[in-house]
Chain A
């Protein structure tokens, strides 16, 4: 199975900060990479697919980049509603696998 490793596992940031989360795949997955946001007690929400394409309705403050094994999710200006846990997922090869999550907390 492809292992997905996110870093950091958690971070503290202030409103207005630019935040970057990284995701590394254990083998080349081309651009078959998605990002999800999950708030406490809620279902995940799809943010990005194909490494950099925004899902419908997702604000442009979210952006994704990368290809091969290294990927990033960037939030350009953190807002109160962005404090959540973020997961990456590869969908290049079954079984589809997720990163362990990055919890973004308020500083």
Chain B
């Protein structure tokens, strides 16, 4: 059974940093692209970032480019999102999402349960 478990969310002040983790199990993590998608409270879904299966290629939405860094440790089956220079508008539930192939041009299949990030003073 595919499982994606996010952690690392919490309350952070504007301008602060936070690192999210996503622990994966139930599939060969190193063979699949991974993504982060977020959802502000009461709002719709927003695409954030993607990483290829080997970590060699990444993509960032304009809204987070230069502030967020996606990475992965295939030896530990873990996906990361390093977030810095956080703003109030980054407040959201962050979901870890599995792609259905090694390329991040292929669609999603499984979602994690999400972790809440709140940016507030």
- Residues in chain B near residue A42, CB distance under 8 A: 113
Q: How many interface residues does B have (CB within 8 Å)?
A: 20
Minimum Cβ distance to chain A for residue B29 (Å):
18
- Describe A's contact surface by its main secondary structure: loop
Q: A94-B59, A95-B61 are in contact. Are A46 and B108 (CB under 8 A)?
A: yes
Bound form: Cα–Cα A97–B37 in Å: 10
Contact B107 A50 (CB under 8 A): yes
Contact A44 B107 (CB under 8 A): no
Contact B107 A49 (CB under 8 A): yes
Interface: A45 (CB within 8 A)? yes
Which residues of A are at the interface with B, using a C-beta cutoff of 8 A?
32, 34, 36, 42-46, 49-50, 55-56, 87, 89, 91, 94-101
